[in-house]
Structures are given as structure tokens and as C-alpha cells.
Amino acid sequence: MIGLLKLGTLAALVILLAPSSAMSGTEASRTAHTILSESGVRGGIAVHLGCTSADLPIAIGSDEKFLVHALTHDRSTVDAVRRQIDATRQAGSVSVEFLDGATLPYV
């Protein structure tokens, strides 16, 4: 499920995906392209709820118009995803955080 929130000139793309195994780079790129094409969002903040690997956040973050924030309920996933992000040198434009509770860590 893809949710879109537009606040004035700020657009946020919220990506809700069922937990799944890691995607291949090609599959993640295709999925990212589909999500971005179908949403119509051309830049802004993309939030990946239920992140289980860095593949999709990295694929979306390869478009420099996006800041990607991956959120997971699994503490062990945070370290693994962070290592993947660091290996691609996308830290800063793509990040991951443990989601403690049912509310998003935003104002």
C-alpha cells in the first residue's frame, strides 16, 4: 500500500509493505520505479514502514530528489540495514531507525 501526503510544497511518500525477504537490486529498482511512477511524487521524504532490508530504501534514495527514512520494529534489522546503507555511501540521504511503538517519530 502506498500513501501520499502533500503539505504545501512538501510531499511525503509513505510506503507500507508486508515484511518480505531481501529483494535483488534489480527487483528493488523496479519496485522503486513503480512506486514513484504510480504515486506521482517527484521528490521529498519517503518513509518505508516495516523495512526488512535496505534494498528498497537504497533504490528510492538513488533518486537524489528523495530523503528516505526506513522504520522497523526489529532492532536487529536496524544494524543490518545501516551496514547496507553505509556500504552504498547513501548515509544521510537514506537512514533507518527502530520504530518503538505505534506512532511515527515525527512532530
Write the single-letter amino acid at 38: E
57-99 pLDDT, tens digit per residue, is 999 999 889 999 999 999 999 999 999 999 999 888 999 999 9
Structure confidence at residue 90 (pLDDT): 87
Banded model confidence at residue 39, pLDDT cuts 50, 70, 90: confident
Place of cell 537512514: 95
Once rounded to an integer, what is the mean pLDDT over residues 45-57?
89
Q: Percent of the chain beyond pLDDT 70?
A: 79
Asked whether the beta carbons of 35 and 49 are under 8 A apart, the reply is no
Asked whether the beta carbons of 67 and 93 are under 8 A apart, the reply is yes
Structure confidence at residue 57 (pLDDT): 92
The yes-or-no verdict on residue 15 having pLDDT over 60 is yes
Would you list the DSSP string of 15-82? EE----PPPPHHHHHHHHHHHHHHH---SEEEEEET--SSHHHHHHHTSTTEEEEEEES-HHHHHHHH
Asked whether the beta carbons of 51 and 20 are under 8 A apart, the reply is no
- Map residue 99 onto helix, strand or coil: coil
Structure confidence at residue 21 (pLDDT): 58
